[in-house]
Amino acid sequence: MLQVKNITFSYKKAKILKNISFNVKAGEQLAIIGESGSGKSTLLKLLYGEFDLDSGHIFWKDTEILGPKYNLVVGYDFMKYVAQEFDLMPFTSVAENIGAFLSNFYPEEKQERTKELLEVVELTDFAKVKVKTLSGGQKQRVALARALAKQPEIMLLDEPFGHIDNFKKQTLRRNVFKYLKEKNITCIVATHDKEDVLGFADNMMVLNQNKIEAEGTPETLFNNPETPLVASFFGEFNVINNEIIYAHQLKLVDDSDLKAVVKRVYFKGNHYLIEADLNGELVFFQHENPLEIDKTYCLLIA
């Protein structure tokens, strides 16, 4: 189990994280979300031992995670950290990068592990290609496979699919999180993409203004967003009569007290997002068909 006990950290005099505490069980997947500058990446670096804490403690099982004041070499063998900048060997092949830390005493096992991980990140056809010739998204996939190579006990992922295009992102996301679950590898992912969370994370944590603003299962936080920041992570929302209402929760009806004038219509694939004026405030709701601009419609909170 990962135990984070009341940690505080500052860059010079700027407080980044204050009195943060949480636990993550072995094999569990935790998603950390928050606006840019909220401390997501910093928290991952602290968990990895890249910085020294101002106060508090971090433990993985019985081992305390300590920073550079105590460790000549940053990091621990049981932990892998995949940052937004990739630490790869550009002049060697994809397969060589993935197998770099696997023992040459067991060549068949090394070859099988490399093959397996190439399949997980969908780079089998690029096994012999030099890393320097790859795109940013392909390099990110190599970094993921390389981190998984020695089957760490815990993985720290910072925006792990941020450079990967939408054509590959969905299947790659499923492959990686499925692999982590099958191998019982604890995973903590910092992300701004709800698709990295919904369907994969066991729990999620929202950072805001140096602290944990909310935490719970994705389903719990989605169904009961306590603040607009939490709701904004999941999609378009409104605040009506001091209540947070998602766009999909507003429905058209023949008559109601909520009368809104349509201002803009956005095509979203399987629905249209409607922007409307409700008593001088903008609201958003979904509808299966485009609606007429400047026409008044009645809404009901479903």
Whether 134 and 260 map to the same domain: the answer is no
94 and 181 together in one domain:
yes
180 and 261 assigned to the same domain: no
Containing structural domain, residue 249: 236-301
pLDDT in tens, 66-101: 999 988 888 898 999 988 777 788 888 999 898 887
Q: What whole-number distance in Å separates Cα of residue 144 and Cα of residue 87?
A: 11
pLDDT band for 41, please (50, 70, 90 cuts): very high
Q: What is the CATH number of the domain that holds 119?
A: 3.40.50.300
Are both 133 and 263 inside the same structural domain? no
Task: Round the average pLDDT of the chain to a whole number and report it.
Answer: 91
β 55-60/29-33 pair status: unpaired
pLDDT of amino acid 189: 95
Residues 128 and 11 in one domain: yes
User: Per the domain annotation, does 231 fall within a domain?
Assistant: no
> Alpha-carbon distance 275 to 7, whole Å?
42
The pLDDT assigned to 280 comes to 92
**pLDDT winner (highest mean) among 80-84, 122-126, 134-138, 186-190:** 186-190
Q: CATH no. for residue 247? A: 2.40.50
Q: How many domains does the chain have?
A: 2
Strand pairing report for 2-11 and 14-24: antiparallel
Instruction: Kindly tell me if the per-residue pLDDT of 55 is higher than 80.
Output: yes
Residue 229 placed within a domain: no
| Sign of the torsion formed by the C-alpha atoms of 7, 8, 10 and 14 | positive
For the chain, where are the alpha helices, taking DSSP H only?
A: 40-48, 94-98, 107-120, 136-148, 166-182, 218-223, 228-234
Q: What is the pLDDT of residue 103?
A: 75
**pLDDT computed for residue 29 by the predictor:** 96
